[in-house]
Structure 1
Amino acid sequence: MSKLDGVVNCLEQHRALQRNITSEQDLAAEKDEDMRALMREENNVYTDLLQKQEQSMLQELLTLSDDEHYPALIFEVNAGAGGQEAMLFAQELYDMYTSYFDHMGWEYEQFSYETTDIGGLRHANLLVNDADAYNWLRYEAGVHRVQRVPSTEKSGRMHTSTASITVIPRPADVQINIAEKDLKIETKRASGAGGQHVNTTDSAVRIVHLPTGLAVEAQSERSQLKNRELALRRLQAKLMQQQLESSEASKQATRKAQQGNLNRNEKIRTYNFVQDRVTDHRIQGGTLHNLSGFLEGGQQLSGLIERLQVDRRKAHLVELLETWQPPQKAADKS
């Protein structure tokens, strides 16, 4: 009922404006020419207001299609084709999206983060805790392509690499209980940069979930206890992801059978550094310039996501209208 408030208010305002428009019959009945001209002028004003009101009402209707609400989601970044260049691009995407999370004021927690020696990213996994996050990020999932001349390319040839984004909703009713007897917990000395702490204490923790074989590690904290808690949270996230993926498999198969390859392009967006542009291939006129500004993960990215939302809502609304049948006809058909 609360979701319908905006639509009802728009409809009431629309009807009030309609009542203020003088009909052609009443205009013809008015004998005073000046009064008739004034009535026509008022009609023009109210007609313009009606058109604006109809746009507002359409926007309210479009928001009703966002009926999937989750308190959190699992957000993944993975390097794709292109070797080291793909991993460098994956790191840039990671930085862009975490900046976007900050821009939106969302809380998020990193569960896994595997980097390369030259600053690239192989894989990252985050938990984003916000009820609005899924509806903003759902269309970011897919293959992102980068086209640029790598710094290591001596001949100046442009390379094409890819990275993928995965957005997995986390329903409120999904619970993961991990039994202590199912865990194999190992400790070891942390590795990497860290001063005297590194290689002096067994603070790093590795946990293996015996029933599934899933393994996680944590060594970012100085305390073994804190690393253990962090590793357990990462394991819980992986088990939750595994559970969600298995439950979604049948739904995805059904959607694919019904919709074919709808919304399953090999690439959803291209980042072209040579031409300083980013192009979203799913919307008309989806090319923006100032790529460096876009990669900051602020208003430019937010604006493109809003356009994607509206475009998909319109398509969803059209689909509903095309498949809708009056109750009597639907009953006759059955």
Structure 2
Amino acid sequence: MLLRKLLNVRYSCLVRRWASTDSLSLQNEKLQAYLESLRQEYYALRVNAAGNSSLYERLSRLDPVVNSLEKHRALQRNITPKQELAAEKDEDMRALMQEENNVYADLLRKQEEDMLQELLTLADNVDYPALIFEVKAGAGGQEAMLFAQELYDMYTSYFEHMGWEYEEFAYETTDIGGLRHANLLVSDPEAYNWLRYEAGVHRVQRVPTTEKSGRMHTSTASITVIPRPADVHVHLTDRDLKIETKRASGAGGQHVNTTDSAVRIVHLPTGLAVECQSERSQLKNRELALKRLQAKLMQQQLESAEASKQATRKSQQGNLNRNEKIRTYNFMQDRVTDHRVQQGGTLHNLSGFLAGGQQLSVLIERLQLEQRKSKLVELLETWQAPQEAFEKKLN
């Protein structure tokens, strides 16, 4: 009983019926309560985080949000309340007080924008030292493979534009310059936060060069982004592998018909199988196939770890992550449209966009903002104030 009374005193300001205003407005009581809980967590961590790397990392993440909150509260204290303004009988003094209030109001709006940006980043920011980036042709035959190659070129140019290191470990092409499938390892702690929302089905609408009647075709390619945590490792042992060699098929001249350079590896415990024939050397193909197998096993580990959380999310929200188009590249209208961005999701100058430079960054930043807002709204909908959560456990 005593514990309950103490908690009631400590968190009385948090336990309210939340206002029905915009959940991302600082006038929203639930958002205010959430910010206050972060502030309390921050000051508790300042006392206890010494010598604990995970707590110190959380403290570092909270620091910009709480500092911004404290600045906001300091500005609020400088604003003269309406009652005092109304009570001031000197008109000149009242006008001066109102002018000061207007200045502080402008500063408050700017501070609110900065705080919301910090809060959005906190709600959605994760760190992975590297990621596996996959490009794969989808529906549309040869045209889809040509489009997949264009996406591959766009993203590798973007990696270079951002200064990220990357390594190609699977690359299967067609004899007309298309791409069936490619895997790359991108090594940079910032890469995942920039590329995570690029995953999905990309659609192209254009008239193929082989189309004689001038009809527009629709083809697809898919992008997969697999985070690679520092603490996830895949160890392959020879006894768990079945390695087969065969002659490569497709383009390659006489070499294809005379050398068993293609490699197929089966991971016996899981049944996963990969093939590689992109290189002339059997040894090189074996090395690439092993890397590809490691990537698949790592993806399986990550999906298994996330399975329960994803199942809960889908049961509450429906199938929000269904495999549908996320972006359309329309060559006839010279535009690219991201279907997840409500405002500013369409850019023109498609050739410039496919160059993989600043235009792609602009669209990714807009997309990040949309997705981070959605995640913060979702977090606030399910978040409970500490006292509310405690009472729920008691009941």
Query: What TM bracket, shorter-length normalisation?
Result: 0.7 to 0.9
Distance in 2 of aligned mates of 1:246 and 1:8: 35
Q: Which residue of 2 aligns with 1:323?
A: 382
Distance in 2 of aligned mates of 1:83 and 1:191: 18
Helix, strand or coil: the match of 1:100? helix
Distance in 1 of aligned mates of 2:74 and 2:384: 29
Distance in 2 of aligned mates of 1:30 and 1:331: 46
1:208 to 265, 268, 287: 265
1:242-286 per-position Cα deviation (integer Å, ceiling 9, x unaligned): 443454455444432232121425211111110011111112131
Pair 139,29 (structure 1): closer, same or farther in 2 beyond 3 Å: same
Q: Does 1:139 align with 2:139?
A: no
Pair 7,78 (structure 1): closer, same or farther in 2 beyond 3 Å: same
Q: Which residue of 1 aligns with 2:346?
A: 287
Q: Which residue of 2 aligns with 1:277?
A: 335
Q: Which residue of 1 aligns with 2:208?
A: 150
Distance in 1 of aligned mates of 2:235 and 2:207: 48
| Contact 2:206–2:218 (8 Å) recurs in 1 | yes
Q: Does 1:307 align with 2:366?
A: yes
Distance in 2 of aligned mates of 1:154 and 1:191: 30
Helix, strand or coil: the match of 1:282? coil
1:41-66 per-position Cα deviation (integer Å, ceiling 9, x unaligned): 22211111111111111111111112
Q: Which residue of 2 aligns with 1:10?
A: 68
Pair 36,168 (structure 1): closer, same or farther in 2 beyond 3 Å: same
1:296 to 337, 341, 355: 355
Helix, strand or coil: the match of 2:124? coil
One-letter amino acid of the counterpart of residue 306, structure 1: E
> For residues 188-207 of structure 1, what are the structure 2 equivalents within 5 Å?
204=261, 206=263
One-letter amino acid of the counterpart of residue 48, structure 1: D
Distance in 1 of aligned mates of 2:144 and 2:247: 31
Between 185-194 and 318-327, the greater mean CA deviation after superposition = 185-194
One-letter amino acid of the counterpart of residue 264, structure 1: R
How far apart are 1:117 and its partner, in Å? 1.0
Pair 215,62 (structure 1): closer, same or farther in 2 beyond 3 Å: closer
Distance in 2 of aligned mates of 1:9 and 1:204: 60
Pair 248,9 (structure 1): closer, same or farther in 2 beyond 3 Å: closer
Distance in 1 of aligned mates of 2:289 and 2:277: 5
Distance in 1 of aligned mates of 2:149 and 2:267: 32
Helix, strand or coil: the match of 2:145? helix
> For residues 123-138 of structure 1, what are the structure 2 equivalents within 5 Å?
123-138=181-196
Q: Which residue of 2 aligns with 1:232?
A: 290
Distance in 1 of aligned mates of 2:277 and 2:360: 32
Pair 254,41 (structure 1): closer, same or farther in 2 beyond 3 Å: closer
Distance in 2 of aligned mates of 1:238 and 1:324: 34
User: C-alpha root-mean-square deviation of aligned residues, in Å?
Assistant: 3.1
| Contact 2:265–2:275 (8 Å) recurs in 1 | yes
Between 54-63 and 261-270, the greater mean CA deviation after superposition = 261-270
Helix, strand or coil: the match of 2:74? helix
> For residues 220-259 of structure 1, what are the structure 2 equivalents within 5 Å?
220=279, 229-259=287-317
Q: Does 1:54 align with 2:91?
A: no
Q: Which residue of 1 aligns with 2:276?
A: 217
How far apart are 1:131 and its partner, in Å? 2.0
| Identical columns (%) | 78
How far apart are 1:162 and its partner, in Å? 0.8
How far apart are 1:127 and its partner, in Å? 1.6
Helix, strand or coil: the match of 1:268? strand
| Contact 1:216–1:235 (8 Å) recurs in 2 | no
| Contact 1:112–1:234 (8 Å) recurs in 2 | yes
Helix, strand or coil: the match of 2:183? strand
1:62-118 per-position Cα deviation (integer Å, ceiling 9, x unaligned): 111125332222211111111111111111111111111112222221121111111
Provide structure 2 residue ranges, at least 5 long, that are not aligned to the other structure: 1-58
Q: Which residue of 1 aligns with 2:142?
A: 84
How far apart are 1:301 and its partner, in Å? 1.2
Distance in 1 of aligned mates of 2:307 and 2:70: 44
Provide structure 1 residue ranges, at least 5 long, that are not aligned to the other structure: none
How far apart are 1:228 and its partner, in Å? 5.2
Distance in 1 of aligned mates of 2:391 and 2:311: 30
Distance in 1 of aligned mates of 2:333 and 2:381: 40
